[in-house]
Amino acid sequence: MITVQVARREGHIGAFDIEGHSDYAEKGRDIVCAAVSALSQGAVMGLERVVGLSPVTTIRDGWLSLQRLSNRSLTVDQRQQAQAILETMVIALKDIAREYPRNMTVVDQQG
C-alpha cells in the first residue's frame, strides 16, 4: 500500500512523505503507482521550475519525501505559488485514494 503523509503548519503544507507500492498491478502496469509518481514528482518539478525553489527532497524506490520547501526564506508570491502546487497535488492524491482505498491512503496532518 502507498501511504502519503502530509505535514502542515498553520494550515500550510511544509512537507510530505510518500512511501510504499500500491500492488494494484505488476510493475510497469500499475496505474495507481504511475499516477502517484507523476503527481508527486510533477509537484516537485513545479516548485523548482515554476516557483524557483530548491526543495529539500529524497527520492528512492518506493519513497519520495519533501522535507522542506527551501533552504532560504520565501517571498509571499513564492509561498502562495508553492501552496497552490502542493494543495493541487494533495487534492489529486486524495481522489486517487478514494478510488483505490485498498492500494493507497492519505494522512493529512493539521499542525
Confidence of residue 111 (pLDDT cuts 50, 70, 90): low
CB 104 within 8 A of CB 36: yes
> Which distant-in-sequence residues (6+ apart) come within 8 Å of 27 by Cβ?
33
Tens of pLDDT along 71-97?
A: 889 999 999 999 999 999 999 999 999
Residue 3 and residue 19: Cα distance in Å, rounded? 5
Domain limits of the chain? Answer: 2-104
70, three cell numbers: 527551501
Superfamily of domain covering 2-104 = Cysteine protease Prp (3.30.70.1490)
Query: What are the two backbone dihedrals, phi and then psi, of residue 55, each rounded to the nearest 5 degrees?
Result: -65, 145
pTM of the model: 0.94
Angle subtended at Cα 16 by Cα 12 and Cα 76, rounded to the nearest 5 degrees: 30
* 103 pLDDT more than 80: yes
Tens of pLDDT along 25-75?
A: 998 899 999 999 999 999 999 999 999 999 999 999 999 999 999 888 999
